[in-house]
């Protein structure tokens, strides 16, 4: 049941990623997709190696989300000339 809910959330975020034009929103949606995939790996692979893969994917997703937060912070300080 939980896997289906996560899959639905990931599919919605994929659709929203393709529909939006705002780069900041796209980065946030991709972040949700990353964490959803790591949760699906952890829930579907019932071996110790599957757990290691899920942990590695989760750590790299966390690093990616930190990069997204840093980029969003820099976008706030950016000066746009029209």
User: What pLDDT does 14 receive?
Assistant: 94
The helix-helix angle for 23-44 and 2-19 (nearest 10°) equals 160
Residue 82 falls inside a structural domain:
no
Q: Give tens-digit pLDDT for 30-76.
A: 888 888 888 888 888 888 887 888 888 888 888 887 887 787 777 66
- Domain extent at residue 57: 2-76
Angle, vertex CA 24, rays to CA 18 and CA 30, nearest 5: 50
pLDDT value at residue 62? 81
Domain count, the chain: 1
**DSSP secondary structure string, 4-24?**
HHHHHHHHHHHHHHHH---HH
Tell me if 64 sits within 8 A of 27, measured CB to CB: no
- Is 47 domain-assigned? yes
Q: Domain for residue 81, yes or no?
A: no
pTM beyond 0.75:
no
């Amino acid at each position: 049941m939980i896997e289906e809910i996560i899959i639905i959330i990931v599919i919605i975020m994929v659709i929203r990623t393709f529909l939006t034009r705002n780069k900041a929103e796209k980065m946030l949606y991709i972040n949700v997709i990353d964490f959803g995939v790591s949760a699906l790996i952890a829930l579907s692979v019932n071996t110790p190696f599957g757990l290691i893969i899920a942990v590695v994917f989760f750590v790299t997703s966390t690093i990616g989300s930190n990069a997204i937060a840093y980029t969003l912070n820099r976008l706030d300080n950016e000066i746009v000339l029209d």
